[in-house]
Amino acid sequence: MPKRMKGMLRLGFLITLALVAVVAGPVAWKRPDRALHVATADVAQTLCADVFVSGLAPDRAFAENIAAEQGMHILLPHLRYTVDTARRQVTARWHGRFTSVATYYPGYGCALPAMTPDAATLQAARKAASTSTAPAAPIINTDPAIVAALARAFAEPASGPRRNVHAIVVLHDGKIIAERYAPGFRPDTLQLGYSMSKSVVNALLGILVRQGKLDMQAPAPVQAWKAPDDPRHRITLDQLSRMTSGLALTEDGSGFDPVSDMLFLQKDMAAYAAHAAPRIPPGRQWEYTSGNTLILGGVLRDAVGGGAPGLIRFAHRELFDPLGMHHVLMEFDGAQTLVGSTRVYASARDWARFGQLYLDDGMFDGRRILPAGWSAYVSKQTLDSLYGSGFWTNTGTEADGSHIIAGMPGDAYFASGKNGQRIVIVPSRRLVIVRLGSTLDPPYFDMRGLERLVNDVSAAVALPHE
């Protein structure tokens, strides 16, 4: 798998490797029990989010986001799940032995038992969510070129994995010019961003940089690294955000990797990631890992103060509320650290508003939210990767000469999450395009379809002199 998309697969390899280990028995050098607990935790948390946050029917959620996973046919004969609407819980069980439960908390999201939010966090989350407003009807664009662009993006291929596109929103010059939703989805439906959440962490860091509370080029203020002779002491916030920390935090979706352990089995994810050993000196090599983002989540928590309630209030006051993002949820781990690698929800319109902030270089309605030049900073290529800082970029190529997004406009950059969650920003066209769905065709999640959508819409809004 190309290194640029490393870590974006999850359950298929996990199941296969875990079951091989089960067959190998007690002599297996890796622990299948942990991998299978990761698998059931993933299933429970995924279904909880789909059913109780996004409002999907359980059978549809299971078919789109679980059963269609590569390798799932091995697990399905013994996989059972139950949805308890009264308790707002989803239980996933494999072979009657490996069991995980995820619980939905209104205004907050879904949590596994080790991540159960306390009363203060729930109160802050519910208060923030109470600002939600009723959405207007979807914006319908009658331009044949726009209509055709969205229709092509939603169309299912004749063969192969389904696209399962759930929502597309197009902003041009800061205004919604078109949107389309799959049945069961509305303009106010909250949808999990998966790794687009990393871009939200980037924005919160940017706000603290603007306020003079953090410096991206300074050593990261991580308690576990404070000793001057600790080789991790030199790791900067920039290196964490650009995935060049050099820490041994491999993310391969196998269920045996440190990130799988971190996301599903650890109560204090930031501390777990921060204790990873240095693999190579920082700044020398790019390796995509959600562990870096969880360390940044711990930095955010400590810089803002007040634990999860403090960060909820900060994020809404400084970012979400000014942008009009009134349909947003954030989940935290058991140590009140934002799970900013994967667990931020927003409506398609709100994801688009977030993208517009970057298109406008951190300005909104005359107010500076992010530092001047922040958009250029996040879209600058990191080493030989196609990654910037919390965003993927469309400049340069990887060391192997590949460039999977070469078909987009040259200045495009984007937030990206598993299963095809994307916010594409095209400064030359004054465009922001959001595409959300359950597209299980790793490792690229319908990237070619995304390129076509961006190019179709770009052509439709071409400037008059062009």
C-alpha distance from residue 323 to each of 317, 331, 349, 436 (Å): 10, 20, 11, 20
From first CA to last CA, the distance across the chain in angstroms is: 39
Rounded average pLDDT over 431-451: 90
Quick count: other Cβ atoms within 10 Å of Cβ 421?
26
Question: Can you give the pLDDT at residue 302?
Answer: 98
- Does any domain span residue 135? no
Question: Can you give the pLDDT at residue 44?
Answer: 98
Instruction: Flag whether pLDDT at 7 surpasses 50.
Output: no
- Does any domain span residue 160? no
- Does any domain span residue 187? yes
Torsion angle (degrees, nearest 10) of CA 377, 381, 385, 386: 90
Please check whether residues 430 and 297 belong to one and the same domain.
yes
Could you identify the residue written with the tokens 């600002």?
Answer: 131
Quick count: other Cβ atoms within 10 Å of Cβ 78?
12
CA distance 432 to 196: 14
Please check whether residues 341 and 424 belong to one and the same domain.
yes
pLDDT tier at 444, thresholds 50, 70, 90: confident
**Among the ranges given (32-36, 231-235, 314-318), the one the predictor scored with the smallest mean pLDDT:** 32-36
Please check whether residues 70 and 12 belong to one and the same domain.
yes
Write down which residue in 97, 115, 133 finishes a domain.
115
Please check whether residues 93 and 197 belong to one and the same domain.
no
- Does any domain span residue 140? no
The DSSP secondary-structure symbol of 91 reads E
- Does any domain span residue 128? no
- Does any domain span residue 253? yes
Please check whether residues 228 and 295 belong to one and the same domain.
yes
* Mean pLDDT score across all residues of the chain: 90
Pick the closest to residue 415 from 203, 207, 260 (CA basis): 203
Please check whether residues 97 and 169 belong to one and the same domain.
no
pLDDT (tens digit per residue) in 101-124: 999 999 999 999 999 999 999 999
pLDDT (tens digit per residue) in 254-276: 788 999 999 999 999 999 999 99
Write down which residue in 51, 81, 115 finishes a domain.
115
Please check whether residues 192 and 274 belong to one and the same domain.
yes
| CATH classification of the domain holding 236 | 3.40.710.10
Range of the domain at 92: 3-115
Write down which residue in 73, 94, 115 finishes a domain.
115
pLDDT tier at 465, thresholds 50, 70, 90: very low
Look at the alpha carbons of 385, 223, 263, 370 in this order and tell me if their dihedral is positive or negative.
Answer: negative
pLDDT tier at 4, thresholds 50, 70, 90: very low
pLDDT tier at 91, thresholds 50, 70, 90: very high
Please check whether residues 328 and 433 belong to one and the same domain.
yes
pLDDT tier at 140, thresholds 50, 70, 90: confident
Torsion angle (degrees, nearest 10) of CA 64, 67, 72, 78: 150
**Among the ranges given (189-193, 238-242, 254-258), the one the predictor scored with the smallest mean pLDDT:** 254-258
Please check whether residues 182 and 328 belong to one and the same domain.
yes
- Does any domain span residue 215? yes
**What's the total number of domains in the chain?**
2
Please check whether residues 94 and 176 belong to one and the same domain.
no
Could you identify the residue written with the tokens 């407003």?
Answer: 133
Please check whether residues 189 and 109 belong to one and the same domain.
no
pLDDT (tens digit per residue) in 57-90: 999 999 999 998 877 778 899 999 999 999 999 9
Please check whether residues 279 and 389 belong to one and the same domain.
yes
Question: Can you give the pLDDT at residue 73?
Answer: 78
pLDDT (tens digit per residue) in 11-46: 444 444 444 444 444 333 356 778 889 999 999 999
Look at the alpha carbons of 364, 366, 370, 376 in this order and tell me if their dihedral is positive or negative.
Answer: positive
- Does any domain span residue 307? yes
